[in-house]
Structure 1
């Protein structure tokens, strides 16, 4: 069943809007760290970075966040940057879909161990039934879905799309 929620052009537009919102909230920052959660979040973070680099002279730094999404508590969270590289900076934690909130909350927890100027979250799709008290500061689309529905995000270049299965 082809239940497309967002087309390639809609994703492009929403990504641009999120990038501008991030810039507005960080207009005086010399550096913004965009931390993408490995998988779809990292791909989405790179798309955001591409736009940010066109619209600001600030340094935009990519940070890869790695965790076992099924068991983040035991696997722990690691980043491609040393703690000193994001200390006292503005960090945007990015994922493709906010489902239960567990991935984002463990990512947020990791970054909160370090003094930051600010920490915000960005997702392409925000599902409205979370198990954890985490919200997306920047979101492409919010969906009220049932628990047995699945959001599938395909970010592969020329045919990006979001589906509800």
Structure 2
């Protein structure tokens, strides 16, 4: 395992991503920020807190629960009523985007409503897409082989990203 991001670097990336979101959503009074099951939830909560401290925007946090390995085997659920997304800007957050599968199914859940726009955020983008998903906000782009993967895991009481 090779360390690619330590806790401090992750915090810096999250701060930058939150400020990029504020800049790119200027004039939009209300945002919905959702985290995908796992670390996506943690990062979405952190981004929400930073935006609330640095912007007058109203921000609603939610989570999307899905089976990352087999997304069609169980229902994809949302922690708030998806009808609230109607006409709104929704931002979906995950820790690592690789093939785009998880992000694709998360976006499909959001698109069950007529939203104003959907933006995607990932801490690490591996660039090995099988689906036509692009990340609007990326903390770090990492070139890897198909056999490698990036995992954000707890280590010594903090989160760190590793190439394995």
> TM-score interval w.r.t. the shorter chain?
over 0.9
Deviation at 1:155, TM superposition (A): 5.6
> Which range moved further: 117-126 or 18-27?
18-27
List structure 1 segments (4+ residues) > 3 angstroms apart after TM superposition. Answer: 155-158
Deviations 1:55-76 (A, max 9, x none): 0121111111011111112323
Give the Cα–Cα distance (whole angstroms) in 1 for the partners of residues 136 and 155 of structure 2.
24
1:59 aligns with 2:55: no
What TM-score, normalized by structure 2, do the two folds share?
Answer: 0.93
Deviations 1:3-52 (A, max 9, x none): 11012121111111110111112111221100100111111111111211
1:28 aligns with 2:37: no
Conservation of the 8 A alpha-carbon contact between 1:44 and 1:155: no
Counterpart in 2 of 1:129? 128
For the aligned residues, what is the CA RMSD? 1.6
What TM-score, normalized by structure 1, do the two folds share?
Answer: 0.93
Give the Cα–Cα distance (whole angstroms) in 2 for the partners of residues 156 and 32 of structure 1.
32
SS at match of 2:14: helix
Aligned length: 164
Deviation at 1:158, TM superposition (A): 5.8
Q: 1:72-151 maps to which residues of 2 (within 5 A)? A: 72-151=71-150
Structure 1 spans left out of the alignment, 5+ residues: none
Give the Cα–Cα distance (whole angstroms) in 1 for the partners of residues 6 and 122 of structure 2.
16
Structure 2 spans left out of the alignment, 5+ residues: none
